[in-house]
Amino acid sequence: MKVPICIFDAKTGVLCPKCESRLKNGELTKIDVECSIKLIKLSHKNQDIDKFTLISSQKIDEDYVLILKDSNVSHINANDNLINSFEKEFNGKVWFVEANSSIRRFLENLFFPTRILKTNMIWLPDGNPVTQVTIERKDYEKFFNTIEKIKKIVNVVRNMELVVKISGK
Ligand SMILES: [Zn+2]
């Protein structure tokens, strides 16, 4: 497993001088440190987590977003036991994102288990591009609060505006 701080630091919960200075100069955030420590703890109980490479992390409202490299987030999202152990350890919702995945895949991972019917770019009257995702009405109504969170995550992680459209409207 790889995390943004030294494995030893993550195990002990104390940063070495090198990581401490990376934290001071903004290369690392407190959330990165917090998530690294939690991930190490979880990896002792679960071999799948031991294969993770955590690139960085974000805290958006009370939710955590973990940006992973070379992980298949669809497999993680489909593993209820894994998700449960994360939410227990993080004491809240944890979102998984693949570093460098395509926009389509990135959005599919966030919307899971909601099916995305279509992803396309649209241009606002002011000329700014936004990404538009089309889903079914029943999903829109059921996951309304989640969708609002996804919009924030997309904005923070990929610096993109997201519009969610209901199919057939
Ligand atoms: Zn260190």
Within this chain, do residues 143 and 84 fall inside the same structural domain, yes or no? no
Instruction: Report the number of distinct structural domains present in the chain.
Output: 2
Query: How far is the centre of ligand 1, averaged over its atoms, from the C-alpha of 33 (Å)?
Result: 10
Within this chain, do residues 8 and 80 fall inside the same structural domain, yes or no? yes
Query: How far is the centre of ligand 1, averaged over its atoms, from the C-alpha of 8 (Å)?
Result: 7
- Give the C-alpha distances (Å, rounded to integers) separating 43 from 22, 27, 53, 85, 122: 24, 24, 11, 10, 41
Query: How far is the centre of ligand 1, averaged over its atoms, from the C-alpha of 120 (Å)?
Result: 42
Domain assignment of residue 163, given as a range: 101-169
Residue 11 CB neighbour total at 10 angstroms: 13
Half-sphere exposure of 11 (CA within 13 A, CB side): 7
pLDDT tens-digit readout, 78-126: 999 999 999 999 999 999 999 989 999 999 999 999 999 999 999 989 9
Within this chain, do residues 81 and 44 fall inside the same structural domain, yes or no? yes
Domain-ending residue, one of 58, 85, 100: 100
Angstrom distance (rounded) from CA 61 to CA 8: 29
Within this chain, do residues 120 and 85 fall inside the same structural domain, yes or no? no
Neighbours of ion ligand 1 (CB under 5 A): 6, 9, 16, 19
pLDDT tens-digit readout, 32-67: 999 999 999 999 988 889 899 999 999 999 999 999
